[in-house]
Every structure is written in C-alpha cells, then in structure tokens.
C-alpha cells in the first residue's frame, strides 16, 4: 500500500471535520490528529499486548511505500491505540486510518493510505453532529452505597498494612433515545476542556488531563495527576481549596506514590530525568489536581509503545504495590474496566507518539443506545468513603455535561 503525506491549508477546527463513520481523534487546544476509514486494524489481548502490537506495526510499516514531504511527528503512517487496563480486561484495539489530518505549530497536513499512489481525498466540510432526543441515567455495576462499602474495606486493608494505595473506580450508565452520534460527545468535551487531550478510538471517547508519556525524538515527557478537589466556581474559594490541596497529607501522599512509580519506570530508559520535588495545581473546568511533569532524555531505542508498556499501570490508576493493588481492584471494584484507565493515543513509524490515560471517558454503544461513563479515586489510609464518592461524582461531570440536552 502507498502512504502519502502532504501539507494542506489550515482546517481550523479538526474535530468538526470528522465524518460520522470510523472517527478517531487525539486533539488538545485545537492541535493534534483526527482520522477516518480503516486501512488496518488489530485486536490483541493479554500481557504481551504492547509487544505484539509493536511487532505487528513494524511489519506493517515495512510493507508500506511512504512519500512524506512534511516529516513531523505524526506524519506518514499513524496508528491510534486504546489498550486494556490489564490482562483480564478484554481486548486492546489499534486502528490505522485510511485518512489522517494533523495540525501542529502552524502546520497542517493530510496523510492517505491506499492502493492508488495518486488518490487525493477531499477534506470533509464542517458538519453538525446529531444530538440525542432524551437520556436517563442509571447506576452501573455497583450502587453508590456498595461502592462506598468497597472503599471502606480498602481503607481497612491499607491500615492493616496489606498495601499503601489502591484506585477504585465506578461506572454509571446513560440510556439514550434518538440518534447517538459520538462526534456530539467529542465536540462538547473539546469545547469544555481544551487543555485536556480529547480522544476517540473504537467507541472509547473522553477528555483526559493525564499524559502517560510523550516521545518526540529523544525527549520523553509524562504528566502525573493524583490528588483532586472539586471546584466551586468562585475564584477566591477555589484558590483556598488549591492551597489546602497542596498542604493535604492525604492528597500529597497519594501523589507521591504516583510520581515515584512514573520516575522509577522512566529511569530504566532515560537520562537527565527531571522530577520536581513539589507538585503544582492543575486547574480544570470542574476540578483541581495535584500535578507533576516529569521529563527525561531517551538513553535507548525504546518506542513510545515500549515506554507506555513500562509505565502502565501507574500508581495513579492502580495503586502500590502494583500486584497487591491489582488483586484488590479485582476483588472489590465489582466491574470490568475494559479499556478505561488504560493507555490511549497514537504512534508513528519512527517510534514517536503520545499516550494519555483513558480517564474522564465513556464507552459508546450505538446499537444499544448506551453510554457507560467511568471515574476512579485513589484510596489511601486517610480516605473517607463519602469524600471519595463526592470526588467520583466530580470526575463524572465531563461526560454528564457533554451528554446534557440543551
């Protein structure tokens, strides 16, 4: 197959250009990648899902004839991936679109994959997605009370010394009447959370604030988020809550576990690792997070896929020690995570790419007319079940608001 990348006029708004069929996306602040059509697709399971994906991708790229006059990260053949949280949580999906449109630093481009080296697809016009007629929300795998009981049990085990931290998640379900167009969710999320990475891969849609890893040449970056407080909408009150978050022993302890797990994983591949000693507060529309940006220089040939594999699961979405936390999640959480809290993003033939953690997200089932939304909370010794439930409700707000009928 032939792969052709050429510069194009600025498409202005990437997500609004997506057609309804097979949309994939990774966009932040109006920049990133969108795609449609399926040139190749991989479904993979088990603990070797990252290495098997890398082998498949290397073999596929070796078979392609590439003509790329732009030569930036994300040009040429690009794959979008959404990986399962763990070995027991279903399939991971990788999609290579037939058409990719990218926009970064004032440069826009289009990549086409097909059997005709001269094919020239036209950029779709801006379109307005269909909106649902009505929706009703229902409890997910566990009721709010049952989930709080699971949190209380996790706290008991942490205080007994069985583990230091565990992340417990819950789900809620929206039942939709009328057309369920995933682009409706994407556009609403991108508009409300421009500083997050808005993504869509095989019906997993969300806007994550957490960058698991980015590789651009030898520069490696990861953003760690752990420790959360809900915003109140008043600047003075929110500033006070931010100060309290920075001084909270419970939240800083939770954050330190997450930073340590990322720094330890990256140290195996990077030199000149920069790990700030104190977090800063990241403000989003609905919540504030403790955040730390970790950077390093690649010391080996690890691709972004290999880096994602070495980092996942971090303490921010699993807990610590990892194996004990996983066991507690499987025992207490009471739901199938699937690709929630797994790596999601894109990668190119040079090993560059970006992966976020699939948070503030939902799985969309158009046939059933259902949207299943997820949220998780880090549980440590000082956690209170009622407070954790309130935090989970705040983290469910992005999908709830994006689905709201106006």
Question: Where in the sequence numbering do the catalytic residues fall?
Answer: 165, 210
Contact 208, 358 (CB under 8 A): yes
Contact 4, 76 (CB under 8 A): no
Distance between CA atoms of residues 6 and 326, nearest Å: 45
Q: Is the bond preceding 122 in cis, omega lying within 30 degrees of 0? A: no
Backbone angles phi, psi at 264, to 5 degrees: -65, -45
28 C-beta neighbours (distance < 10 Å), count:
20
Strand partners, 213: 355
- List all residues 6 or more positions away from 264 whose beta carbon is below 8 Å from its beta carbon: none
342 C-beta neighbours (distance < 10 Å), count:
26
Integer-rounded Cα Rg, in Å, for the chain is 21
Distance between CA atoms of residues 165 and 318, nearest Å: 8
């Amino acid at each position: 197959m032939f792969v052709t990348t050429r510069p194009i006029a600025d498409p202005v708004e990437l997500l609004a250009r997506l057609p309804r069929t097979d949309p994939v996306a990774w966009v932040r602040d109006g920049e990133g990648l969108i795609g449609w059509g399926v040139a190749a697709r991989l479904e993979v399971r088990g603990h070797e899902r990252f290495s098997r994906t890398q082998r498949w991708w290397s073999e596929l790229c070796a078979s392609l004839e590439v003509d790329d006059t732009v030569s930036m990260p994300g040009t040429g053949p690009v794959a979008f991936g959404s990986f399962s949280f763990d070995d027991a949580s279903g399939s991971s999906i990788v999609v290579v679109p037939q058409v990719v449109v990218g926009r970064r630093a004032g440069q826009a481009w289009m990549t086409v994959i097909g059997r005709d080296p001269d094919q020239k697809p036209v950029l779709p016009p801006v379109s307005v997605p269909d909106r649902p007629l009505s929706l009703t929300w229902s409890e997910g795998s566990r009721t709010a009370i049952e989930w709080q009981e699971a949190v209380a049990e996790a706290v008991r085990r942490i205080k007994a010394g069985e583990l230091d931290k565990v992340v417990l998640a819950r789900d809620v379900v929206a039942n939709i009447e009328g057309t369920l167009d995933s682009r409706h969710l994407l556009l609403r999320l991108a508009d409300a959370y421009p500083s997050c990475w808005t993504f869509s891969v095989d019906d997993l849609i969300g806007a994550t604030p957490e960058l698991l890893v980015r590789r651009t040449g030898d520069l490696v970056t990861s953003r760690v988020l752990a420790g959360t407080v809900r915003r109140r909408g008043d600047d003075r009150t929110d500033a006070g809550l931010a100060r309290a978050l920075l001084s909270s022993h419970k939240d800083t302890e939770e954050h330190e576990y997450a930073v340590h797990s990322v720094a330890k994983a990256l140290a195996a591949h990077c030199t000149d690792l920069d790990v700030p000693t104190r977090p800063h507060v990241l403000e989003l529309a609905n919540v504030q997070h403790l955040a730390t940006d970790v950077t390093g220089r690649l010391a080996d040939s690890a691709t972004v896929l290999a880096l994602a594999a070495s980092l996942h699961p971090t303490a921010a979405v699993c807990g610590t020690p990892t194996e004990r936390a996983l066991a507690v999640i499987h025992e207490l959480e009471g739901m199938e995570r699937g690709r929630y809290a797994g790596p999601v993003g894109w990668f190119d033939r040079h090993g560059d790419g970006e992966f976020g953690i699939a948070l503030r997200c939902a799985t969309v089932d158009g046939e059933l007319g259902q949207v299943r939304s997820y949220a998780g909370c880090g549980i440590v010794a000082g956690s209170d079940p009622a407070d954790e439930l309130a935090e989970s409700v705040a983290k469910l707000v992005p999908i709830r608001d994006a689905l709201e009928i106006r």
